[in-house]
Amino acid sequence: MSEIHPINNPPSVMEKSANSYYQRWRMVKDSLARFGVIAGGLSVIVALVLIFFYLLYVVIPLFKPADAEATAHYSLPEAERGKTVLLDVEEQNEVAVRFTDSGQAVFFEVATGKPIANQAIKIPTGAKVVSFSQGSPISEGAVIYGLSNGQAIVVKHQYQITYPDNKRLITPSLKYPLGEAPIVVDDKGAALEKIAVKVGDKSTTIVAKTADKVRLLNIEKQQSLFEDEATLNRTEAILDVPAATITDIYIDKEERNLYLVDNDGHLSFFDISDKTAPVIRQNLNVVEAGAKVTVSTFLNGDSSLLIGDSTGLVSQWTMVRDELKRPAMQKLRSFKVSEKAIVAINPEPRRKGFAAIDANGMMGIYHTTSEREALKEQVTQALPITAALSPRANTLLVEASDKNIYVWKIDNKHPEVSIKSLWQEVWYEGYAKPDYIWQSSASNNDFEPKYSLTPLVFGTLKAAFYAMLVAIPLALMGAIYSAYFMTPMMRQYVKPTIELMGALPTVILGFLAGLWLAPTLEEHLSGFFLMFMLLPVGVMAFAYVWYNLPKHILESIPEGWEAMVLIPVILLTGWFAFAISVPLETALFGETLRDWFKNQWGIGYDQRNSLVVGIAMGFAVIPTIFSIAEDAIFSVPKHLTVGSLALGATTWQTMIRVVLLTASPGIFSAVMIGLGRAVGETMIVLMATGNTPVMDLSVFQGLRTLAANIAVEMPESQVDSTHYRVLFLAALVLFLFTFIFNTLAEIIRQRLREKYSSL
């Protein structure tokens, strides 16, 4: 009987069915996997596109121009009560007031012009109004009337809000903060031709110009512990300045600086900190030759003066410190409204913007910090007389020579932002020169927001640079040794250990960097630099000793494990460098290395600085670069290395000329992915730096990155505010930076792969 071999038996029907079933199932799984990969890739692309457009959606309103709409116009309320010397609006845009040259306060509805109340200022019999001035917004609506008999009356207009029957009712009234009795400014009874006032909680300063003198009067309230009424202490002084040509007087909110302007464009700047002895600081010309000052006013905060002239130009002047640290007025910028004379300038009470109107009724809305022209609009065809901008800068009232009031609704949400304010140097109030500054908030409305993204981008690149400076050499050298020179047994322990480092939470690394590494480096700074000099010497010395050891000792160490013996040498050398650092500093410098840098080179030292960030972020990035680069080098086909060695090349020649070139696309990808992680890192830079947005290349100074800035300030920003949208702009910049950089990196990687694929 012949033997039947299984291989010759034809498959049964059941076996054919089973094979067919498995083939179909495998094809189904392949199809599912293929569609899953495609769906996953498309989902990632869609998610990135949606993120981009959402960021763009939030950011675009920053750059939209302002909009103005005429909502009403009506005849001048109570026109028979005199000419308007001041037009003002309360915060809700429902009630306005018109102060007249006859000493009347006419309150009326903004929407219709319907009179609400008419109150007369208590002017003494026989006296006439000869001058008028408004205090700054910090004075809470204070105004002053200068009289023909040398006296003055200070009045505040205020508004009480009640809700009868759940409906808002605004009741206007007048208040006399210094009493209803007129204040004697000139004891000889000379008419007060020009006057200014600044009303504070405890002190009020009045400066008035008569025909031949400029007088300063300071009134301080002193409240007795045993009396209900406060006593008023007067301090008087006469300024040494020609009074004849003065047209405008301004006192800053601190009652320390006084500005006198004449129509020829001369500005006199006085220090009135000592009310008994004012000191002139500067006398300069604030308009070009041939031009005349037509109108002037304080910008919000009383740190800058806005000067409008007969050529249609509005210039901003602010006090800075000169080279000798003396206060001096400096022109920061100017805005051209038209070729006609400026007749009205209305600063925004809560921002650094203003509205300027020329003699033809053309209005321009500007923001000083961003140097942005938000709007130009013809608000009246007649000659403008006066104008009022509401506290929220969303309503404008213009009184024209045709005895009508024109009401405009203004939508100007984000004037603080422009390309210049974001990316170029800006000259901010009080600064000696233009600079890049990020300072998004302060405690009061006088603050000038500083939204320069340049120091944040600089800090992001600086942190990434120092991190990559630490990570790239260590990661790539480690990857080369591990993939090409290390024994397989040792590689089984080393590679997973380094990759495990990548699983450490960055918040832990930031915590250790901020609370342990930063103080340690500050105390042993010289030890850190000494370690770089001692490590090569220590390794070379150990190599010499190792080379001269007896043969039986060398043979006891398995081949490829020599690197393990170096670990104690490196640790001991590092410990020795840090141990002798403090005595060495004392012996060489007589002080700490930090103080020596400061005294000899002018290099400051912050405890949480770029050096700390570089080490901590480098430690976080090393596993990523090492793992990808090591896989790329290890995956180089063996026939290439064997062939190179067979042709007589040394191991190092093979590594440099063959292995690294073949693995270069993978190595480049490793570096780019590591850089992407360094750029987007948040927690380490948040905890290991002082988060100071400064532009300093020094490794001993702190920084602030885009990612850290978003993490710090986003929880405190008001939704849809300028600050909120600028933070989204920072996120968009970070998104575009990583996207463009990774795209270029992928293009380079593909070209490297094509170039060396033939090896």
Reported as a single tens digit per residue, the pLDDT across 528-568 is 888 888 998 988 998 888 888 888 777 777 777 777 888 88
Answer with the one of 410, 426, 449 that is the final residue of a domain.
Answer: 449
Q: Are residues 612 and 669 in the same domain?
A: yes
What's 311's domain CATH number?
Answer: 2.130.10.10
Q: Are residues 437 and 465 in the same domain?
A: no
Distance CA 389, CA 157 (A): 16
pLDDT tens for 397-443 read 999 999 999 999 999 999 999 999 999 999 998 888 899 999 887 76
Q: Are residues 465 and 529 in the same domain?
A: yes
The answer, yes or no, to whether residue 636 has pLDDT greater than 60, is yes
pLDDT tens for 22-59 read 788 888 888 888 888 899 889 988 998 999 999 999 99
The answer, yes or no, to whether residue 1 has pLDDT greater than 50, is no
Q: Is residue 3 part of a domain?
A: no
Give which of 190, 186, 74, 194 is closest to 131, Cα–Cα.
194
Q: Are residues 315 and 410 in the same domain?
A: yes
Answer with the one of 285, 304, 328 that is the final residue of a domain.
Answer: 285
Q: Is residue 691 part of a domain?
A: yes
Q: Are residues 594 and 678 in the same domain?
A: yes
Q: How far apart are the first and last CA of the chain?
A: 60
Q: CB-based burial of residue 451 (10 Å sphere; 0-12 exposed, 13-18 middle, 19+ buried)?
A: buried
Residues 679 and 738 sit within 8 Å (Cβ to Cβ): yes
Question: For residue 109, how many other CB atoms are within 10 A of its CB?
Answer: 16
**What pLDDT shows up at residue 466?**
93
**What pLDDT shows up at residue 410?**
93
Q: Are residues 659 and 733 in the same domain?
A: yes
DSSP state letter for 202: S
Distance CA 47, CA 30 (A): 25
Question: For residue 653, how many other CB atoms are within 10 A of its CB?
Answer: 13
Q: Are residues 549 and 695 in the same domain?
A: yes
Instruction: List C-alpha distances in Å: 548 to 215, 251, 355, 551, 560.
Output: 96, 86, 86, 9, 18
Answer with the one of 63, 79, 105 that is the final residue of a domain.
Answer: 63
Number of domains in the chain: 4
Q: Is residue 96 part of a domain?
A: no
Mean pLDDT calculated for residue range 731-753:
84
The answer, yes or no, to whether residue 8 has pLDDT greater than 60, is no
**What pLDDT shows up at residue 444?**
67
Looking at the chain, the whole-number percentage of residues with pLDDT higher than 70 is 95
130 three-class SS: strand
Distance CA 258, CA 753 (A): 72
**What pLDDT shows up at residue 756?**
67
pTM over 0.75: yes
Greater model confidence, 415 or 744: 415
Residues 253 and 302 sit within 8 Å (Cβ to Cβ): yes
Total residue length of the chain: 759
Distance CA 533, CA 343 (A): 72
What kind and span of H or E run contains 685? Answer: helix 683-688
What kind and span of H or E run contains 159? Answer: strand 151-162
Q: Is residue 416 part of a domain?
A: yes
Q: Are residues 399 and 485 in the same domain?
A: no
Q: CA angle, 599 as apex, 594 and 604 as ends, to 5°?
A: 50
Q: Is residue 83 part of a domain?
A: no
Looking at the chain, the whole-number percentage of residues with pLDDT higher than 90 is 35
Mean pLDDT calculated for residue range 608-622:
91
C-alpha radius of gyration, the chain, whole number: 38
Q: Is residue 326 part of a domain?
A: yes
Q: Is residue 87 part of a domain?
A: no
Distance CA 91, CA 394 (A): 10
**What pLDDT shows up at residue 593?**
84
Q: Is residue 732 part of a domain?
A: yes
Give which of 167, 211, 217 is closest to 191, Cα–Cα.
211
**What pLDDT shows up at residue 455?**
93
**Most confidently predicted of 104-118, 265-279, 741-755:** 104-118
Distance CA 53, CA 45 (A): 12
Q: Are residues 400 and 494 in the same domain?
A: no
Q: Are residues 237 and 358 in the same domain?
A: no
Q: Provide the CA 196 distance to its chain's centre, in angstroms.
A: 36
DSSP state letter for 435: B
**What pLDDT shows up at residue 289?**
84
Q: Are residues 597 and 721 in the same domain?
A: yes
Mean pLDDT of the chain: 87
What kind and span of H or E run contains 208? Answer: strand 203-209
Distance CA 484, CA 633 (A): 7
Give the range among 166-170, 286-290, 342-346 with minimum mean pLDDT. 286-290
Contacts of 500 (CB under 8 A, 6+ apart): 623
Q: Are residues 225 and 322 in the same domain?
A: no
Q: Residue 396 belongs to what domain range?
A: 288-449
Distance CA 122, CA 124 (A): 6
373 three-class SS: strand
pLDDT tens for 669-710 read 889 888 888 888 888 988 888 888 888 888 898 899 999 999
- Pair of tokens at residue 735: 């998104």
